[in-house]
């Protein structure tokens, strides 16, 4: 049995570049997160690609990372680890 293999997935920071609002971005990242869970990905790496359409690569990468971490966290710990802030990107987290 092969136990030394790990599945690493590379996700571009421009994944959500064509989505205009936070709700659509959240839904798209949610679909990616579910696929990662189904295929039991061991590690997800978000890389900055040089896409011309993305205004702020770092902001997009942070959104993807935060949403995937939120999905990975057990429900009973989410409120403690992710305090709700109306002005932040957490407005659409309820879709996950």
DSSP state of 68: H
Domains of the chain as residue ranges with CATH: 8-95 (3.40.1280.10)
Average pLDDT taken over every residue of the chain: 82
Strands 8-12 and 43-47: parallel
Q: What is the pLDDT of residues 35-56, one digit of tens each?
A: 999 999 999 999 988 877 777 8
> How far apart are alpha carbons 93 and 56 in whole angstroms?
21
Q: What is the pLDDT of residue 2?
A: 56
Q: What is the pLDDT of residues 50-79, one digit of tens each?
A: 877 777 888 888 889 988 988 888 888 877
Element (H, E) at 44: strand 43-47
- Would the pTM count as exceeding 0.85? no
Q: Which residue has the tokens 């011309």?
A: 52
Q: Is residue 12 very low, low, confident or very high in pLDDT (cuts 50, 70, 90)?
A: very high
Q: Is residue 32 very low, low, confident or very high in pLDDT (cuts 50, 70, 90)?
A: very high
Q: What is the pLDDT of residue 90?
A: 61
């Amino acid at each position: 049995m092969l136990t030394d293999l790990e599945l690493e997935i590379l996700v571009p920071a421009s994944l959500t570049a064509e989505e205009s609002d936070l709700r659509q971005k959240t839904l798209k990242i949610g679909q990616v997160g579910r696929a990662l869970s189904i295929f039991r990905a061991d590690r997800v790496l978000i890389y900055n690609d040089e896409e011309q359409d993305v205004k702020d690569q770092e902001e997009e990468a942070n959104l993807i990372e935060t949403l995937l971490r939120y999905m990975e966290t057990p429900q009973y710990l989410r409120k403690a680890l992710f305090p709700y802030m109306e002005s932040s990107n957490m407005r659409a987290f309820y879709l996950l």
